[in-house]
Amino acid sequence: MAQSKCATCGSGRFEAVHAQNLEGTKRAIIFIQCAECGAVIGALDLVNVGIQVNQVKEDWLRLIERLRTQFRS
């Protein structure tokens, strides 16, 4: 497999960082960038499906408990 390299400086080291200077969106975006010169080579939308599924599960459990309470009284 070929070694990934930065097109700007030739470094083979990369890092993922939260985009702090991205205008026009409120979404959490992660930049994949060269660890040496900072050239951005990709972007990821930071959506954690596991956390969202767990939130929906907790919302449903609260709703079920509220319904149980209402039917008891």
Binding site for Zn ion (CB under 5 A): 6, 8-9, 11, 34, 36-37, 39
Which CB atom, from 10 or from 62, has the smaller least distance to Zn ion? 10
Which CB atom, from 8 or from 55, has the smaller least distance to Zn ion? 8
Which CB atom, from 31 or from 34, has the smaller least distance to Zn ion? 34
Least distance in Å: CB of 13 to Zn ion?
8
CB 40 within 8 A of CB 28: no
Gap between the Cα atoms of 47 and 50, Å rounded: 9
CB atoms within 10 A of CB 17: 13
Here the tokens at position 42 are: 């990709």
